[in-house]
Structure 1
């Protein structure tokens, strides 16, 4: 009898853990969608409704809003890293690998998340050290393969690619209610065509570096009398 009770109790605990894990995944997915759709002004109530849980469930999994934002960022970064590594491993054509990564990464809408992440960028950056290094290696390998194959213009850097992806997925001011997704594919193909060699014109200035992406903008101070 005791063994049966112990087994039942263990099974109950496993179900609770599985339910908790599914709730956490739903919250993170709902938060990402809500941040992309509504921006920084989205409330936890909206996220909870989208996830189909109560506010108390959110606070059981995440201590505060910044913690939820960091988890969303980690989830998005993990998916982008996997996209880059998979494209590199599975696409024999160099430019096809770049196209596959760029299109997949664009769907993550990282540009829409950037304004939200900037408020907590130091803690987010420290939590993403490993993922950032993996992404840099994978994107650099994709770019080098494109150059070696003579398909990618030589003055484009891996960091240029990541900056462009952020800009292409950043909503225009006052445009959140418009369906801008239908334009992203068009603009993405224009961008990809511009990456091909031979280049029609030289690019001004120096290419971006990964260190440029890690630098914070200078803090402005109000002069005192």
Structure 2
């Protein structure tokens, strides 16, 4: 029982470290100190280095968590929404509101090269890409997504970063910009615009 408790503690420490790294890499870039990551995770630096012997190992773990999180988001949206367009809308809103773009821009090109060098990371990335491609294909078939908008376009839109003024609620800024963006890629936009005249 003690061994199981130790394993659970080790998993918990690892998860806390990766979660802290995801936030700090997003906010400060990958050059943030390992001590700052450990402090944010609530563990000692020694514990961090036992789990991740160097910065590269931590970047790889953060990349895997980032991609796995995207895969879970797109899968959940696909499962819970009524159609592909609704799933794409939900997925893009979640990407914007959780700062996917800020994370991606902070860790590039280091994460990009790691993803392409590590077969496990490549597989997770392909899972995300395939799921988005499936939604795009279905939305095209349903006639709800503009035919000239492809999977690569959705991948770019996932990394949209939205500025909000100091005097405004960031969630309101995200909602407004994402609404405008979705109106631009959905096929219902010209009809809605005509109705508004």
Aligned CA distance change for structure 1 residues 61 and 13 (closer, same or farther; 3 Å): same
Q: 1:33 aligns with which of 18, 23, 27?
A: 23
Further displaced range: 39-48 or 107-116: 107-116
Q: Go from structure 1 to structure 2 and tell me whether the alpha carbon gap of 1:55 and 1:179 turns closer, same or farther (over 3 Å shift).
A: farther
Q: Is the 8 A contact 1:84 1:135 kept in 2?
A: yes
Residue 150 to residue 164, structure 1, CA distance change in 2 (3 Å): same
Match of 1:43 in 2: 33
- Cα offset, 1:72, TM superposition: 0.8
The structure in which a higher percent of residues are helix is 2
Q: Confirm whether residue 164 of structure 1 aligns to residue 154 of structure 2.
A: no
Q: In 2 relative to 1, CA 179–134 (structure 1 residues): closer, same or farther, beyond 3 Å?
A: farther
For the 8 Å contact 1:80–1:108, the answer to whether it is kept is no
CA distance in 1 between counterparts of 2:110 and 2:19 reads 21
User: 2:92 & 2:116 partners in 1: Cα distance?
Assistant: 22
- For residues 48 and 171 of structure 1, the distance between their equivalents in structure 2, rounded to whole angstroms, comes to 29
Q: Give 1:64-103 correspondences, 5 Å limit.
A: 64-103=54-93
> Which ranges of structure 1 fall in alignment gaps of 5 or more residues?
1-10, 201-225
- CA displacement, residues 96-116 of structure 1 (integer Å, 9 cap, x when unaligned): 111111122334423222332
Structure 1 runs of 4+ aligned residues shifted over 6 Å read 177-180
**Match among 104, 120, 126 for residue 117 of structure 2:** 126
Cα distance between partner residues in 1 of 2:163 and 2:59: 18
Segment of structure 1 superposing worse, 153-162 or 109-118:
109-118
Structure whose alpha-carbon radius of gyration is higher: 1
- Kindly report the root-mean-square deviation, in angstroms, between the aligned alpha carbons of the 2 structures: 2.5
Aligned to 2:183: 193
- Quote the offset at 1:77 in angstroms: 0.5
The residue number in structure 1 matching 2:194 is none
Structure ranking higher on relative contact order (CA contacts 8 Å, 6+ apart) = 2
SS of 1:154 mapped into structure 2: coil
Instruction: Give the total of aligned pairs.
Output: 186
Distance across 1 between alignment mates of 2:35 and 2:163: 23
Question: How much has 1:185 moved relative to structure 2?
Answer: 2.7
- Please list every run of 5 or more consecutive structure 2 residues that lacks an aligned counterpart in the other structure: 191-197
Task: Name the residue aligned to 1:116.
Answer: 107
Q: Which residue of 133, 138, 141 maps to 1:140?
A: 133
In 2, Cα distance between equivalents of 1:178 and 1:42: 29
